[in-house]
């Protein structure tokens, strides 16, 4: 029996047909399988591996931290250097109001913590969220998803959630003095890369200020240079009350965070204390890896090159089957005529050696979100594989 059989026999599956390559190692923009075949990674583990795989600075930080210590105590009791240093490094790059970091283990947990903080701080319970938002898979984060298809089977959901259409300014009157918070992805990811309409985020900010609701930005997918700026909100000049991060935050290790002001964050630690507790939140290995990746991202030219690389993809991805190309930096949705075509493209491109993926809420699109460190020639190679695949599908091969 090969190792492959164990994957299907003993690993719980999330779908009837996983992409399933038997990955054994990864370096830079390539993932290698058991047979030694190399795959060009055009999705970066869904916007996680922004510096590619096995970056030497990250590996070295993990090695050194592993020799110092691993888990010591539940989050929040002991000072741990990787946590404190990473929190300080993040605060230095953020507006002054975002200076206090609560580290957790994942994006979903960061959303849970942020929603709880908003309810505690405001004393209100209503949460406004948007259609086709993806914020995670735990009960609370799933309840704010704004998609009936994926949540129907798990009802009753967390109560008090109001779902509005994204980018529709006419509905923002529904944010009222009863609203605890408005949770939004500044650029919607799983909806198929939908940037905010002009004035949308500004109006959200204004409406939150008028009503006393907190504004929460979920930058789990858009953070750490993905959109060409360190965080997408910096593109639009709108500062949230709570910023939610994960994915690339940990440099390839599991890590999430929600970041706010000391005053807002204080509501979790007083009357009663222990408003959110987590054993592994801010694990020292994850913080060491994340900090090393973060420093490298800031130090290098990687973020400055995002727009130029994105332009290359926009120019390359032209084909009769392509209906629309949407992007924010190196986060791309390529719209095709239907879901069946998108399904075929991802699977056939994988056979040809390029990894891509679909979107949760846009079945007719496929995703390109490579490591930001990808070179222009590697990008061209990836795009060529997608174009060749599209052409084969078009001619019915």
Residues making contact with ligand PLP (CB under 6 A): 46, 106-108, 111, 134-136, 185, 189-190, 218, 220-221, 246
**Contact at 8 Å (CB) between 317 and 334?**
yes
Nearer to ligand PLP, 120 or 226 (CB): 226
Please give the Cα distance from 65 to 255 (Å, whole number).
15
Greatest alpha-carbon span in the chain: 67
Closest C-alpha among 298, 354, 278, 389 to residue 29: 354
C-beta nearest to ligand PLP: residue: 107
Between 107 and 140, CB nearer to ligand PLP: 107
Q: What strand order describes the sheet that includes 354-355?
A: 23-27, 30-33, 38-41, 354-355
| Shortest Å distance, C-beta 51 to ligand PLP | 18
CA distances from 157 to 26, 106, 138, 150 (A): 39, 20, 11, 12
CB of 74 to ligand PLP, least distance (A): 20
Angle at 323 between CA 319 and CA 326, to 5 degrees: 100
Q: How far is the CB of 117 from ligand PLP (least distance, A)?
A: 16
Query: For ligand PLP, which is the closer residue by CB, 14 or 35?
Result: 14
Angle between helices 306-316 and 376-394 (to 10 degrees): 20
Cβ 136 to ligand PLP shortest distance, Å:
4
Torsion sign across C-alpha atoms 274, 277, 283, 288: negative
What's the min distance (Å) between Cβ of 256 and ligand PLP?
6
**What is the closest distance, in whole angstroms, from the C-beta atom of residue 179 to ligand PLP in the complex?**
20
Task: Choose between 358 and 389: whose C-beta lies nearer to ligand PLP.
Answer: 358
Give the span between the Cα atoms of 29 and 206, in whole angstroms: 41
> ∠ CA(294), CA(297), CA(298), 5° rounding?
90
Residue 282: closest CA among 14, 136, 75: 75
Report the residue number, 33 or 357, with the smaller CB distance to ligand PLP: 357
Least CB distance from residue 14 to ligand PLP, whole Å?
11
Tell me whether residue 359 or residue 378 sits nearer to ligand PLP (CB atom).
Answer: 359
For ligand PLP, give the closer residue by CB, 28 or 113.
113
Output 104 or 385, the one with its CB closest to ligand PLP: 104
Nearest to 195 by CA among 106, 325, 343: 325
Q: How far is the CB of 303 from ligand PLP (least distance, A)?
A: 19
Pair 350, 21: CB distance under 8 Å:
yes
């Amino acid at each position: 029996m090969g190792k492959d059989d164990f994957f299907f026999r003993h690993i719980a599956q999330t779908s009837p047909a996983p992409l399933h390559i038997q990955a054994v190692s990864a370096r830079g923009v390539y993932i290698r399988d058991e047979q030694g075949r190399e795959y060009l990674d055009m999705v970066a583990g869904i916007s996680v591996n922004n510096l590619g795989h096995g970056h030497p600075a990250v590996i070295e930080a993990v090695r050194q931290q592993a020799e110092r210590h691993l888990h010591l105590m539940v989050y929040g009791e002991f000072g741990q250097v990787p946590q404190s240093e990473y929190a300080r490094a993040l605060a230095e790059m953020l507006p002054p109001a975002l200076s206090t970091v609560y580290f957790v283990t994942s994006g979903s947990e960061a959303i849970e913590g942020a929603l709880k903080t908003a309810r505690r701080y405001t004393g209100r319970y209503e949460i406004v969220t948007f259609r086709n938002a993806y914020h995670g898979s735990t009960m609370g984060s799933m309840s704010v998803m704004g998609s009936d298809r994926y949540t129907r089977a798990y009802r009753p959901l967390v109560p008090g959630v109001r779902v509005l259409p994204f980018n529709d300014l006419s509905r923002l009157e529904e944010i009222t003095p009863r609203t605890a918070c408005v949770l939004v992805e500044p650029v919607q990811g799983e909806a198929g890369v939908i940037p905010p309409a002009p004035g949308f985020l500004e109006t959200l900010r204004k409406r939150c200020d008028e009503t006393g609701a907190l504004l929460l930005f979920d930058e789990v997918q858009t953070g750490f240079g993905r959109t060409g700026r360190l965080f997408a909100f910096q593109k639009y000049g709108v500062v949230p009350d709570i910023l939610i991060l994960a994915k690339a935050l940990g440099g390839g290790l599991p890590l999430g965070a929600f970041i706010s002001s000391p005053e807002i964050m204080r509501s979790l630690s007083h009357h009663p204390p222990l408003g959110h507790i987590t054993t592994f939140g801010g694990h020292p290995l994850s913080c060491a890896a994340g900090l090393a990746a973060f420093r490298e991202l800031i130090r290098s030219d990687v973020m400055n090159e995002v727009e130029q690389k994105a332009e290359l993809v926009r120019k390359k991805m032209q084909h009769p089957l392509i209906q629309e190309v949407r992007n924010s930096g190196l986060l791309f949705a390529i719209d095709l005529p239907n879901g069946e075509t998108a399904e075929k493209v991802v699977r056939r491109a994988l056979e040809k050696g390029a990894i891509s993926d679909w979107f949760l809420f846009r079945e007719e699109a496929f995703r390109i979100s490579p490591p930001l460190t990808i070179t222009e020639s590697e990008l061209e190679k990836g795009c060529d594989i997608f174009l060749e695949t599209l052409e084969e599908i078009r001619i019915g091969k």
